[in-house]
Structure 1
Amino acid sequence: MNRVDLIPQPAAADAVADAYAAAPLLNCLLREAAEPVPGPDGAPGPGARRVHRLPSGRLLRVRGERRPVEPETRVEGDWTRIGHPELVKLVAEELTRHTGLSNHELPAEMTDSRDAVAALLAARARAVPPEDPYLLSEQSLLTGHPYHPAPKARGGGPVAAWLPYAPEAYARFPLTLLAVREDLVVEEGDTSALDALGEAPPGYRLLPAHPWQLDLVDLTDAFADGRLVHLGETPSEVFPTAAIRTLYAPGPDLFLKFSLDVRITNDIRRLWRHDLLKLRRTDAAASRALAGGPAGWLSDRGYRTAAFAFEELAVLVRDGFHGRLRPGTTPLLAAALVEGFPGSPLAAAPDPGAWWEAYLDAVVPPALAAFADHGVVLEAHLQNALVAVDADGMPVQALFRDAEGVKLLGDVERAAGWERLVYCLVVNHLWEVATALAERHPGLDPWPALRRELSRHDLPEATALLTAPTLPGKTNLLLRWTGADGADARYLPLPNPLAG
């Protein structure tokens, strides 16, 4: 078992943690509640600083664009550097003024997120990264969602409770094996892979559990009266993916997704009953939409749980890579290409223009065809898209996952479905890869290639996208500040780089 431990935090690591935590928070603040101020301080060029006016009238200056750093405020004519605690205080004051609402929970999450990064940095200093490039990509996200105010918050619990299960700390661990009384089993779809993980006693069925989730829920009565039996642990270990509660078991080539009663980004990450009950329908639609094409779909083939703890103990069985991945290729998490990790083909591409065109050819056509031909809106954002690369690091195939996030046009209006696809695919995903690629390879203009790719498709919405003045940007900071439901999606208009 490779359970990472805490080690002392040097001052340098604290400064790095501040920078990691400040970048996405600044991205949110500048996008959702600030206006750029033209002038010499905002001039383009290496090392340039950008100035923004906040709702209170205060000026905020940062260095860099994609991942802003070194925030400074204007005080009595001078620029004063602010640390992470001061930034959290400033954001809270500005959002209170901007919305007329107060919020005591979110600032605590911002601090929790920063402290989690510090703990992850310390843990990484002693942990051994996985050798497998795919696993390394899943476990590389120290920044996480680049436009979320607290992407690394872990529910405010003690570090020792969550660190052994943190993908960013290169964790791996065995599953806990439970047995649930047979007459209390609830399942749908194909869950047979679960029965191969161990052996249940007569009259019981096997039910694997995430050990962190078992620490979060009270099942004392169920164990006492025999509804549940503790069987021990799996002999082999699983690897947490970027989603944290979704684990990959390399031996059986299987993904398992669990409930986790912790708020991570916008949601409490429980497998909600209403989502599970519609899962087979959305998964079947996505499977049909991508069947026979170049892209792959990692099917959520079924779930199993206990009737008395339907959501708390639910486990979802997801396809692995066998039979879905082109021979000789390596899948990589799209979010990791943006974040950066050792061996990333985005950074090493000898011809970044050709690499980008290959990337677009792999990712864009299947997502647009699913929408146009099947009415399926894939949640094709950075964490739900994998890109398989060949031995030379060139993208050759896209793999999509997570039926829980799939929308069907029969259930949502076409305009709303298209807006969601544009946000997930273009704004959250392709825009981030494009700007990361351009940053790594100065001189590359990624937008003409994306315009060409979109223009190839006989889809009116794609054609209109080429001249639309704006694109939808999700407002994660305002969503959390105003206490909106985690599944809500509210957008603000962003200048469309495709129309330039």
Structure 2
Amino acid sequence: MNCKRTDNILINKLTNEEQYALTYIQSVNDTWADLFKSVLLKSRDKISQRLITSMHRENLANCRDYSEIISVDHYPLPIDTPYTYILKMSFLQNGKTLYAPISGQHAFDRINVTGPFYFEKNKKFSRIKHPNDILECILTEVPHLNNEASMQFKDDMDNSVANMAIALSYQSYTLNDTHQSLLDLIVSSDDPYLRSEQAVLEGHPLHPGAKLRKGMTPQTAIAYSSEFANIIKLKFILLQKDIAKSQSLYNNYNELIFSQFDGLYDSVSKILSIEDIDNYFIMPVHPWQYDEILKKDYVQEIESRLLIPVDYDIDYFAGLSFRTLIPKFPEMIPHIKLSTNVHITGEIRTLSEQTTINGPQVTKILNDIKNNDRLFTNINADTIDELAGVHFYNPQDSSSLQTVKSEQLGALFRENIYTRINQNTIPMIPSSLVANYVNHNETPICSLIKKYESTHQFSSYEDASIQWIKSYAQALIDLVLPLYVKYGIALEAHLQNSIATFNYDGSMNTIYIRDFEGLRIDESYLNHMGYTTETFHEKSLILTDQSQTVFNKVFYSSIQNHLGELIVAIAQSTTSENLETEIWSMISDILYTKLQEISLTMKDTSRIETIESILFSSKIDYKCVTTMRLEDEADYYTYIKVDNPLYRPLH
């Protein structure tokens, strides 16, 4: 929309979070600070667009009921936008109307919007300068949401805006003279996989708390977030075995860990005798947790030498998942998931006891299934082993303190992707496929499809897109669907929990699913298939008897989120009005065919019939990420019914 005032004038004053960030950046570099100020309104709009999209899709505060899509020709202000339609959203109690240019309409009732956004009240228009202006409207419309949870959500958006501006301005500063495609930047780097994780700047594509780093200063957020590519000095401690629990996939836990890190055993042997070493577990600790939490909450254990810091560190880098640290190729040491008392997206990212204890056990079950069921032969998909886990556990602590202290000190070791992939392939986190940067708008998924189109001489980009996503979807579905249907295991296979490898002609090679913390298992069904869960952690949230919960987990993460985001990016890269519909129809066919293939290996097909009736119905559940936050239901998922692009009539 046309507006001749500068962004700096539009921002009347900075929030505390923005000022805090700016003050720090000014102490580092004046050019970066100027760029921070120049992208601030853009950053606010990026958080606002996530909020508006969520509100409409979730019908939050009934705003979808009171929305309409109007032509840009009917918009009452002069407008400078390439888009044809505008979302008009009315707030009856406020007497306000929100206007948002629509950048795309997509499957599962998704409407993407882009700033600038405007409010109209009494025929007067005002530029929306911050997402919390929209939140105020929501709370007026739905007063019962004006509670502690929504106040925290307000703080979350403040923090997300500031961190978005830090990241966008840093990217502008460091890539000012770079104009290659993002795919070329990734492929040409020393470590394409790590570079792909660092390329995802904006975080969760739909969550208003996409860049949340509550609990950190701007300085530590920059030091430890993936997009800044800083070396992170991983710390280690020793925990006496009386106050710790461990789990290992193959070997003795300590033997496994010492074998991975050169010099670690020597450093420990300077502190303890060989006999005493056997009485301790070795544990890595995130340096932020080491500095901010360990020295504050574990003083008694340190003084009594139940917990002993080790004079040893090693270089790692942050992944997109803030608490997962990754070595740089050619290092082949494990990826490590750690506890950090930092509020990211919807929760504080400590590490639960169940994650460290269950990960290797889930790995063992998955590997047995893959090795013995012919459904998993000759597919282009696999899982990444979780090798070992450990967490603090002092049985002398009170039950409430016990949980807090155990979750603050935990670690999970995961197989390094470079030990698994085929040579001459490009490993990337799928989140990066839909990313871009300030000097080049082309997303890696589009760059890959163009390579694929050129190499194989497709008649059109659209035809190449259909074949490209068909191969990708087939690989993902070949893994996640049989695990769910036949064994009751719902992998949380969203973009961030996956690694995809690509051939140099742009085509798909293999997809790998990692991170078993958030999966769901239909416990009785898995037990029925011959796999025991008796040794899983007693607090295991991943085990459930709610079949709908298991279905929603696999469907939301794999289909709605993972494939959905890729398909949106493809749809936005073409002028074809039918391409997205064609792709979803094709994916419906893949799912149906795969279900028939699975049924041939099962005696009782009634389960498949039930799944088909949900999967291919005209409406399907969508997880309400914003509603859950405002209603303070982080541990309980809230869903709304949306149109299902996979719909097919069944006999």
Task: Mark yes or no: TM-score above 0.5.
Answer: yes
Question: Which amino acid in the other structure matches residue 390 of structure 1?
Answer: N
The 8 Å contact of residues 215 and 343 in structure 2, kept in 1 or not, is answered as no
3-state SS of the aligned residue for 1:148? coil
Whether the 8 Å contact between 2:360 and 2:385 is mirrored in structure 1 is no
CA offsets 1:163-213 (integer angstroms, 9 cap, x no match) = 201012223322012233455443111444422321213224432210011
Bigger radius of gyration = 2
Q: 1:26 matched to which residue of 2? A: 52
Match of 1:48 in 2: 85
SS in 2 for 1:176: strand
TM-score by length of 2: 0.70
What residue is the counterpart of 1:242 in the other structure?
A: 320
2:434/2:444 contact within 8 Å kept:
no
Q: Which moved more, 1:116-125 or 1:397-406?
A: 116-125
Q: What residue is the counterpart of 2:411 in the other structure?
A: 315
Does the 8 A contact of 1:282 with 1:406 survive in 2? no
Separation in 1, partners of 2:636, 2:34: 37
1:39 aligned residue? 70
Give the aligned residue type for 1:142: L
2:132 is aligned with 1:106: no
Distance in 2 between the 1:12 and 1:47 partners?
A: 27
* 1:296 corresponds to which of 382, 385, 404: 382
- Label 1:473 to 1:227 Cα distance change in 2 as closer, same or farther (>3 A): same
Tell me what 1:230 maps to.
309
Q: Aligned to 1:414, which of 523, 527, 547?
A: 547
Moved more, 136-145 or 111-120: 136-145
Q: Does 1:160 align with 2:160?
A: no
1:194 aligns with 2:257: yes
Contact 2:69 2:85 in 1 (8 A): no
Gapped runs of 5+ residues in structure 1?
none
Separation in 2, partners of 1:80, 1:462: 48
Checking the alignment, whether the CA contact within 8 Å between 2:584 and 2:646 is kept in structure 1 is yes
TM-score by length of 1: 0.90
**Aligned residue in 1 for 2:571:** 438
94-103 or 160-169, which deviates more: 94-103
Alignment match of 2:121 (pick from 75, 96, 100): 75
* Aligned pairs (5 A) from 1:302-451: 302-308=388-394, 309-340=405-436, 345-348=444-447, 349-350=449-450, 351-410=464-523, 411-443=544-576, 444-445=579-580, 446-451=583-588
Two-structure CA RMSD over aligned residues (Å): 2.8
- Of 16, 26, 32 in structure 1, the residue corresponding to residue 42 of structure 2 is 16
Paired residue type of 1:496:
N
The Cα offsets for residues 314-364 of structure 1, whole Å up to 9 and x where unpaired, read as 111111225532333222212221234678541211222221111112212
Matches within 5 A, 1:140-179: 140-179=199-238
The Cα of 1:233 is off from its aligned counterpart by 4.2
Give the aligned partner of residue 287 of structure 1.
367
Alignment partners' CA distance in 1, 2:362 and 2:473? 25
Instruction: Give how far 1:290 is off.
Output: 4.1
Deviation at 1:96, TM superposition (A): 5.0
Contact 1:259 1:271 in 2 (8 A): yes
Q: 1:371-422 deviations in whole A, cap 9, x for unaligned?
A: 1222211111121122211111211211101111121112333333112221
Report if the CA contact (8 A) 1:60-1:71 is conserved: yes
Deviation at 1:282, TM superposition (A): 3.2
Shift in alpha-carbon separation, 1:255–1:220, aligned structure 2, 3 A: same
Fraction of identical pairs, as percent: 20
Which residue of 90, 93, 97 corresponds with 1:59? 97
Which letter maps to 2:33?
P
Question: 2-side partners of 1:148 and 1:307: how far apart?
Answer: 33
Contact 2:432–2:444 (CA<8 Å) still a contact in 1? no
- In the superposition, relative to structure 1, how do residues 382 and 356 fare at CA in structure 2: closer, same or farther (>3 Å)? same
| Structure 2 unpaired stretches of 5+ | 1-24, 75-80, 105-111, 176-184, 395-404, 451-463, 524-543, 597-607
Instruction: Tell me how far apart the structure 1 counterparts of residues 326 and 575 of structure 2 sit (CA, whole Å).
Output: 36
- Cα deviation per residue 1:401-457 (whole Å; 9 max; x = unaligned)? 111112111233333311222111111111111111110233133323222222212
Bigger proportion of residues as helix: 2
Q: Distance in 2 between matches of 1:462 and 1:305?
A: 37
1:24-71 Cα shifts (integer Å, max 9, x gaps): 222222222221314334999834322223464632211223353222
1:117-153 superposed Cα distances (whole Å, 9 cap, x missing partner): 1122333355588722211221222221122121111
CA 1:416–1:304 in structure 2 vs 1: closer, same or farther (change >3 Å)?
closer
Q: Contact 1:49–1:61 at 8 Å: present in 2 too?
A: yes
Q: d(CA) in 1 for partners of 2:227 and 2:54?
A: 22
